[in-house]
Amino acid sequence: MEYVIEMRNIRKEFPGIVANDNVTLQVKKGEIHALLGENGAGKSTLMNVLFGLYQPEQGEIYVKGKPISITDPNIANRLGIGMVHQHFMLVENFTVTENIILGKEITTGGRVDLKKAAKEVKALSDRYGLSVDPNAKIENISVGMQQRVEILKTLYRGAEILIFDEPTAVLTPQEIHELMEIMKKLVAEGKSIILITHKLKEIMEACDRCTVIRRGRGIGTVDVAETNPDKLAAMMVGREVNFKVDKTDASPKQTVLKIENLVVEDARKVPVVDGLNLEIKAGEILGIAGVDGNGQTELLEAITGLRKVVRGTVELNGKNITNHKPRKVTEAGVGHIPQDRHKHGLVLDFSIGTNMVLQTYYQQPFSKHKILKFPAIFEKANQLIKEFDVRTPSEHTLARALSGGNQQKAIIAREVDRSPDFLIAAQPTRGLDVGAIEFIHSKLIEERDKGKAVLLLSFELDEVMNVSDRIAVIYEGKIVAIVDPEETTEQELGLLMAGGKKQKAGDRSESH
Amino acid sequence: MNLIKGRLFHILVPVVSVLLGLLIGGIIMLVSNYNPISAYAALIDGIFGNGYNLGETIRAASPLILSGLAVAFAFRTGLFNIGVEGQLLVGWLASVYVGIHFDLPKVIHLPFAILAGAAAGALWGVIPGFLKAKFKVHEVITTIMMNYIALYTTNGIIRAYMLAPGERTKDIKESASLASPWLQQLTEFSRLHYGIVVAILAAVIMWFILWKTTTGYELRAVGFNQHASQYAGINVSKNIVLAMAISGAFAGAAGTMEGLGTYQYMTINNAFTGVGFDGIAVSLLGANGSVGIIIAALLFGGLKIGSLTMQSAAGVPTELVGIVIALIIFFVASSYLIRWLTNRFTKGGKI
């Protein structure tokens, strides 16, 4: 059997760490091959070895049966290996065509022939059913479209083997579905795909075979048709994983957060939250489902005092907190696990210990008369590190040096530890592996069971449906429907999120 | 293990930079037909050779420490204060004004004059800070412009209200002076004054504010990540203004070294003193740390004072020391190069 790509017994060491140890990856022509592993398992390292960014200490690489040493990315490109990056490498104010040909421009008489290039891009796009407008500007097209431009970029450069690095992290459910279709079309046309992911659902849906890495070691390769998500998860984590979120029924009590007729504008003075009403009760998790860009971010910023409320009120435990400063909101009893943990959640260049007191550093016992009390700070940090299983060499390690999952655990530890009456969890599991997700979900439910009100914002429908007790669907800055996760379906939610009317769910809840 | 390596590297960069600067400076001397060995011998003699030279070195280092602290403090809070020079000038003038126009016992007059200088520098720093916080005007541009305003305003004020014969103000009163006959006598009648004590005290203050207080925590948080600071309820605008005020206060205090220490008056300056700009180099070489800045300022002060002897004893022009200083800055700034070189030597090329 000949493989298009064969990496045999790869070993890659970094000072103090073995990132890859005896990993073998064999990709057949025309298949979608999943590379599965937890965060930090060594997937990216392996792909960087294939891409020529790292040199392995041991092992061989064969491309189409021939042994090859890939010493820099140019060689990988020439061999037809292309990478669709997770973070897009696009020039925002260039058109699609300009981006695609960048560095490989078609010229006639020294001038860039954009017309001819656009035609080629169009032809390529049609062939794989990407339906990309070659003349649109990147800044004006959706994230899903931008990703297709990235795909086109690799195809334009003659890629035969495409590596997708966690491509669905930034997509909506619809876009994910479309991407899967595109990938199937690509392999039907003879391309081969390596899909780096830790999402089992995607593997089950689209992949042919799956190679699992755990803590740098190659665990094995399985046929997707002969396995199931439970087995894959067990291979990835090394133990049985519980997918069903264990929780009892909620017993909601008094209203904790009450939002009335809220209007919030974005930077362009467009009302992105437009007359929104919402109530969240003690002892329940309210999930917000919606396509990104329907006012979710602005809603959370308005509640927490980071963005000005134009009209309407926000009440916490009956007290008006509309347009209060962030610190006053925090002190009133709001915990906030922010959407972007690097931008808002952490000061990455502070130690993880000092990040643990980001909301409380000015209070006793962490400071007195404006003098910081480091013993108390680090004692608290160590307690939280233990309690929330934050894996860090020490409390003095820079937050930057931790993996995404551990950074997130640190933020959750900090916010939950203050025991706020109202906890906002915005995309709390974004980019995390199943182990960390399980932990974070259980913490959210634990808070709920303690009688706290929890607001969960997530773009993963599974997560919203599994964790929430009630789901509020947001569309164009309004809550358009509130549904029971037990009774709704992904299709119904998808329809509501796209602005459709709630009919079936209404009928059903009436019949109860 | 990694942490120690990181620390070691932080110390290694400036040390290697200085050595490389001296080495290449020597090569330039050689090419220019000067004898580098006798030049450096004269330079060292010019720094440590006698009490007078040593006194002058420490004297020259005192304002450099403060201007270095000013740059470093702003840098630690995410700001580039290029306006140390202007803040220094207004601080100089304010301290001299208080020194001339008040009649107080020394224990009050001297601290009062120093604080007046620091306050004037702080005020001069607050303006760009405010413009940044309120209107997002980049502080590099405003601080540079504030330098020129400071230069011509201080000159104008001296000319209009404080002029004494010799294009300068009157001398300050003895009660506001940092001068010390005892230190002068100790150093064979150099101009050494108590300013060095003020400078070292300021270095301790900077370290304390930045690393031990909630204010420093907030300032550094804002410097690293404004979004996270805002999220944590820290007032970003207030902290930007405060950072510039404290930075400006250090710069203003640097001005008092000249006004109350070295000169005892203020002259009409045709051009910038350069002490403020040298602060950028000092802070860079000192890795923005209190101890590093003291050492770097002493080095730069020494090179400047020593270059005078180098010229008179070895016939090598002082400008060559300027080249050496520039080379040192160059190597610190390109620390990547040094990282690469040390890796080459220690690990046989593996990174």
Q: Would you state the pLDDT for residue A243?
A: 67
Considering the domain architecture, whether residues A276 and A408 belong to the same structural domain is answered as: no
> Around Cβ B324, how many Cβ atoms within 10 Å?
23
Residues A312 and A443 in one domain: yes
pLDDT tops 60 at residue B3: no
Instruction: Tell me the domain boundaries of chain B.
Output: 35-315
Same domain, A266 and A380: no
- Asked whether the beta carbons of B179 and B192 are under 8 A apart, the reply is no
Who's near B248: CB < 8 A, 6+ residues apart?
Answer: B70, B81, B83, B87, B121, B122, B123, B124, B125, B126
CATH of region B35-315: 1.10.3470
Q: Is residue A11 part of a domain?
A: yes
pLDDT of residue B344: 63
Are the beta carbons of A359 and B233 separated by less than 8 Å?
A: yes
Please tell me whether residues A348 and A497 are part of one structural domain.
Answer: no
In a domain, A63, yes or no: yes
Q: Are residues A121 and A156 in the same domain?
A: yes
Is there a domain that residue A498 lies in? Answer: yes
Q: Could you tell me if residue A488 is inside a domain?
A: yes
On the 0-12 / 13-18 / 19+ scale of CB atoms within 10 A, A78 is: exposed
B5 and chain A: CB distance < 8 Å anywhere? Answer: no
Residues A349 and A324 in one domain: no
Beta bridge partners of A218: A213
Instruction: Say if B7 is an interface residue toward chain A (CB within 8 Å).
Output: no
Query: Among residues 279-308 of chain A, which lie with CB inside 8 Å of chain B?
Result: 304, 306
Mean pLDDT across chain B, nearest whole number?
Answer: 92
Domain coverage including residue A321: 251-333+420-512
Q: Which residue of B has its CA nearest to A338?
A: B231
Residue B345, pLDDT score: 63
Give the residue from chain B lying closest to A324, CA to CA.
Answer: B233
- Tokens standing for residue A276: 């929104």
B225 shares contact with chain A (CB less than 8 Å) = yes
CA nearest to B225 within chain A: A347
CATH of the domain at A218: 3.40.50.300
Count of domains forming chain A: 3
ipTM of the complex: 0.84
Contact partners, residue A295, CB within 8 Å, separation at least 6: A264, A272, A273, A274, A276, A474, A476, A477
Length of chain B: 351
Highest mean pLDDT among A218-232, A426-440, B5-19, B191-205: B191-205
Which pair of tokens denotes residue A49?
């070895």
Question: Which amino acid appears at position B69 of this protein?
Answer: L
How far is the first Cα of chain B from the last one, in angstroms, to the nearest whole number? 16
**Residue B209 Cα, gap to closest chain A Cα (Å):** 9
> In what order do the strands lie in the sheet containing A319-320?
A271-281, A255-265, A309-316, A319-320
The residue among A53, A328, A330, A358 with the most chain B CBs within 10 A of its CB, best to mutate, is A358
A367 to chain B: closest CA residue: B214
Considering only CB atoms, B214 lies closest to which of A306, A336, A362, namely: A362
Output DSSP code: residue A297. H
- Decide if A321 contacts A315 (C-beta within 8 A): yes
Which residue's structure tokens are 């209009």? Answer: B160
Neighbours of B28 (CB within 10 A): 15
Residues of chain A with C-beta less than 8 angstroms from the C-beta of B3: 396
Closest C-alpha to B296, from B69, B81, B78, B83:
B69
**How distant is the Cα of B90 from the closest Cα of chain A, in angstroms?**
30
Hey, are the CB atoms on B214 and A361 less than 8 Å from each other?
Answer: yes
Instruction: Select from A399, A419, A439 the last residue of a domain.
Output: A419
- Is residue B161 predicted with pLDDT exceeding 70? yes
Rounded-to-integer distance, Cα A389 and Cα A400, Å:
17
* pLDDT surpasses 60 at B167: yes
Residue window 194-213, chain B: list those with CB within 8 Å of chain A: 212-213
Question: Chain B within 8 Å of A372 (Cβ-Cβ)?
Answer: yes
Of A306, A327, A350, the CB nearest to B224: A350
Which regions of chain A are under pLDDT 50? 504-512
> Hey, are the CB atoms on B214 and A346 less than 8 Å from each other?
no
Mean pLDDT along residues B264-282: 94
pLDDT value at B347 more than 60: no
Is B271 an 8 Å CB contact of chain A? no
Are residues A43 and A110 both part of a single domain? yes
Residue pairs between chains A and B whose CB atoms are closer than 8 Å: 68
Domain end among A419, A452, A467: A419
- The residue behind tokens 């020194």 is B99
Q: A413, A399, A326: which is closest to B231 by C-alpha?
A: A326
Chain B contacts in chain A segment 311-330 (CB below 8 A):
325-330
**What is this structure's pTM?**
0.81
Any domain includes A246? no
Q: What is the pLDDT, as a whole number, of residue B197?
A: 96
The mean-pLDDT minimum among A57-66, A84-93, B158-167, B186-195 falls in A84-93
A407 and A426 share a domain?
no
- CB B214 to CB A367 under 8 A? yes
Of the partner residues A328, A344, A371, the one whose CB lies closest to the CB of residue B231 = A344
Terminal C-alpha separation, chain A: 59
Domain final position from A419, A453, A477: A419
Cα gap A43→A37, rounded to integer Å: 7
Say if the Cβ atoms of A347 and B225 lie within 8 Å: yes
Q: Are residues A21 and A58 in the same domain?
A: yes
Check if the beta carbon of residue B178 is closer than 8 Å to that of residue B257: yes
pLDDT of residue B204: 97
pLDDT score of A508 = 43
The yes-or-no verdict on residue B188 having pLDDT over 80 is: yes
**B267 near A CB under 8 A:** no
Closest chain B residue to the Cα of A356, Cα to Cα: B232
- What pLDDT score does B286 carry? 92
B89 with B273: CB under 8 angstroms?
Answer: yes
For residue range B113-131, list pLDDT tens digits in order: 999 999 999 999 999 999 9
Same domain, A212 and A146: yes
Query: A290: closest CA among A439, A453, A173?
Result: A173
Q: Residue B144 is inside which H or E element, if any? A: helix B139-157
For residue B4, the chain A residues in CB contact (below 8 A) are none
Q: Which residue in chain A is spatially nearest to B215 when comparing CA positions?
A: A370
* Residue from A316, A329, A323, A264 nearest A294 by CA: A264
Interface check for A14 against chain B (CB to CB < 8 A): the answer is no
The residues that bridge with A12 in the sheet, in sequence order, are A20
**pLDDT tens-digit map of A227-250:** 988 888 888 888 777 667 778 888
Q: Tokens 């046989």, residue?
A: B348
Judge: A338–B220 Cβ closer than 8 Å, yes or no: no
Q: Which residue of A has its CA nearest to B232?
A: A359
If one counts every other C-beta atom within 10 angstroms of the C-beta of residue A470, the result is 17
Shared domain for A365 and A304, answered yes or no, is: no
Q: Cα–Cα distance between A114 and A130 in angstroms, integer?
A: 20
Q: Is the CB of B224 less than 8 angstroms away from the CB of A16?
A: no
Residues A217 and A362 in one domain: no
Is B185 at the interface with chain A, CB within 8 A?
Answer: no
Q: Cα Rg for chain B, rounded, in angstroms?
A: 21
Average pLDDT value for residue range B11-25: 90
Which tens digits make up the pLDDT trace of A129-146?
888 999 999 988 888 889
pLDDT at residue A32, rounded to an integer: 95
Per-residue pLDDT of B73-91, as tens digits, reads 999 999 999 999 999 999 9
Contact B141, B80 (CB under 8 A): no
Residue A180 structure tokens: 């899967």
Q: Is A348 in the B-facing interface, judged by CB distances under 8 Å?
A: yes
